[in-house]
Amino acid sequence: MLISELLSRKGAQVATVLPSAPVSAVLAGLADHDVGALVVSADGAHVSGIVSERDVVRALNRLGPGVLAEPVTVIMSAQVQHCAPGDTVDSLAQTMTTLRIRHVPVLEDDVLVGIVSIGDVVKSRIGELEEDRRALEHYITAR
């Protein structure tokens, strides 16, 4: 399955946060959108970074509660692994596993068009396995 197909099923909405926003805004955004990561973007189209629940927890541990008033840029990951709509879900799953990342923005011509989480990848793979199972059952019972 292609990433574009996955996005057409799940939707292409991406929760973002401004680079200048305080880390406390990240907490609000994560909760409001019920997501595990926000894309950091000044314009909602170009990726400056990504910030996850893990980033917040690690920053709180390392820097203390004062980090909540700091800008997102203090804790975000600036090196963002991304994928394209034409990439396969299987190749993305391998990348996510190898790099130990859970959220990957989808870019087309350097413009943000979606985001894929590890949960999306797992759900897609389970759907494919279920289709395979049904096809095998039909093949066996049709004989």
Domain boundaries, the chain: 3-141
- Say how far apart CA 96 and CA 19 lie, in whole Å: 24
Q: How confident is the model at residue 90 (pLDDT cuts 50, 70, 90)?
A: very high
Could you tell me if 2 and 85 are in contact, meaning their C-beta atoms sit under 8 angstroms apart? yes
**pLDDT at residue 95, as a whole number:** 96
Q: What is the pLDDT of residues 23-68, one digit of tens each?
A: 999 999 999 999 999 999 999 999 999 999 999 999 999 999 999 9
- What are residue 106's DSSP bridge partners? 83, 114
**pLDDT at residue 143, as a whole number:** 67
Could you tell me if 39 and 115 are in contact, meaning their C-beta atoms sit under 8 angstroms apart? yes
Could you tell me if 92 and 118 are in contact, meaning their C-beta atoms sit under 8 angstroms apart? no
What are the CA-CA distances from residue 85 to residues 4, 64, 67, 78, 127 (Å)? 4, 39, 35, 21, 19
- pTM value > 0.85: yes
Q: How confident is the model at residue 80 (pLDDT cuts 50, 70, 90)?
A: very high
Q: What is the pLDDT of residues 94-143, one digit of tens each?
A: 999 999 999 999 999 999 999 999 999 998 888 777 887 888 888 888 86
Is domain 3-141 classified as CATH 1.20.120.450?
Answer: no
**pLDDT at residue 140, as a whole number:** 84
